Amino acid sequence: MRTHTLVPSLLLLGALSFAAACSPGTSGSADAAFARPGSTPAPSPVRGADPSKIKGLEIVSDNSEDKSCPFATSYPDVPGAEAMTAAMKKYVERRLASFRSGSAVCEDGTGSAEGIELNISHRFLVASGDVLGVRLSTHDPSGAGSGQSATTYWYDGRAGAYRTALGLVAEGSRGAFLGALKDRLKGREGVDAASLDDTFSAPDSRAAALDDMAFTADGGLRVTIDQGDVSAPAAGAFTVTLSKETVTPWLSAFGKRVQRQTVAPSRSLDLGATHIPTPAVPNHTASGDDDTDCRRLRCLALTFDDGPAVPEAATLLT
């Protein structure tokens, strides 16, 4: 699997472009991209974090060089959050193995099913103080329904531990939390009451269904349940947003720190990393035979189109 270190501004530009494309007035907010059409819009958006302040950040990316089995995956590797990185790596490798073995396109090598491509991308939710939050968004058209799903990963720098989404909620308050979610979901078109009860009653299925949680800019907690977890896949995903006043008493100590860092982010991130890689500095000027290793350096590609037979291109390239 190839590893690249990307320019933070380029990552930020992608995050802003994605948020703009999904801003109110279009199909929904960036974090409601998988929400079922017609669902009630959240009162406040979920903020993204600026990756440029994450020292030593590396992006682990991989993509297919075989057009008959196309895929593209990426997830972050943040110094100090090794346990969370390992969890994301395990998820990406599992989904990729499943896609390669279960996709007819990959099996027969013809590439005949147009648009069948596995894509796993990431977005930083919080990266400040001693907490880190990342959402992995997966698009796999080879599966049932739309093939859209998302999972949030959390790291507690104070405890030096990886946390699941349910780790935002105190164990003693999960009964009340689950009851509030069920009340909001029951009666929605497409939700199966029996499936909802079954999913929330079993620890494993509950953790799998409630694996996408993030705080809104005003401190509320948004919970997105993937398609098929409490309904038929065709019904889509469901989003429930609990206000700050409602959810705060139910949060764990870690959840409250994440909430605070979301509403009022610190200027720095400290996860207790013992070693932070120092980016290499190029010691030569670019040329036609540039041998810069973009796996070690922060690379940025620029293009310029001056049209045919226009002399400015030669000047720019010298």
For each of the chain's 318 residues, which pLDDT tens digit applies?
544 444 343 344 344 333 333 333 333 333 433 444 444 454 578 888 889 889 999 999 999 877 778 899 999 999 999 999 999 999 999 999 988 886 666 765 554 556 688 999 999 999 999 999 999 999 988 766 667 889 999 999 999 999 999 999 999 999 999 999 999 988 888 887 888 888 888 899 899 999 999 999 999 999 998 876 776 666 667 889 999 999 999 999 999 999 999 999 998 898 988 777 766 555 545 455 566 666 666 676 666 555 544 445 444 544
222 pairs with which residues across the strands?
214, 241
Q: What is the pLDDT of residue 13?
A: 38
Q: Which CATH architecture has domain 3-263?
A: 2-Layer Sandwich (3.30)
Q: What is the pLDDT of residue 156?
A: 97
Please, is 259 exposed, middle or buried when counting C-beta atoms within 10 Å of its C-beta (0-12, 13-18, 19+)? buried
Q: What is the pLDDT of residue 36?
A: 46
- pTM assigned to the model: 0.73
Q: What is the pLDDT of residue 201?
A: 87
